[in-house]
Amino acid sequence: GENVEQHPSTLSVQEGDSAVIKCTYSDSASNYFPWYKQELGKGPQLIIDIRSNVGEKKDQRIAVTLNKTAKHFSLHITETQPEDSAVYFCASKAAGNKLTFGGGTRVLVKP
């Protein structure tokens, strides 16, 4: 089955700096790649997603890039703010299958 590796497991950045989280997947048939943000005491919330026919997608300060050849995708957060502190999960999915989640990255933005 699909395997998703996520790195780093923890990430500490200074407010205003950029944060990058990387994920690799194993199933070349995967075609959907969402990112979730989980704040303390809440469930994960979808923040951005990308499909395999697109190389990059942006939404304000967050962007996701996909390299299908290398089977990896990344989340980029620019101009980080304290409210960006949370746990982030990547996931991948092949058609008809369930999402497979990465292990999570705990992001701390220091003021």
Partner 1 sequence: EADIYQTPRYLVIGTGKKITLECSQTMGHDKMYWYQQDPGMELHLIHYSYGVNSTEKGDLSSESTVSRIRTEHFPLTLESARPSHTSQYLCASSVSGDGYTFGSGTRLTVV
Reported in sequence order, the residue ranges of 4-104 that DSSP labels E, i.e. its strands, are 4-7, 10-14, 19-25, 30-38, 45-51, 56-59, 62-67, 72-77, 86-94, 100-101
Phi, psi for residue 75 in degrees, rounded to 5: -110, 130
**String of contacts with partner 1 for each residue 44-83, x by CB under 8 A:** xxx--x----------------------------------
- Cα 77 to its chain centre, rounded Å, is 10
* Position among 14, 42, 69, 70 found at the interface with partner 1 (CB under 8 A): 42
Residue 8 interacts with partner 1 (CB under 8 A): yes or no: no
Residue 101 interacts with partner 1 (CB under 8 A): yes or no: yes
**What is the C-alpha separation between 110 and 81, in angstroms, rounded?**
8
Task: Report residue 24 as tokens.
Answer: 């690799």
Smallest gap from Cβ 16 to partner 1, in A, equals: 26
Residue 43 interacts with partner 1 (CB under 8 A): yes or no: yes
Enumerate binding residues for partner 1 (CB under 8 A).
1, 9, 32, 34, 36, 41-46, 49, 87, 89, 93, 96-99, 101, 103-104, 106
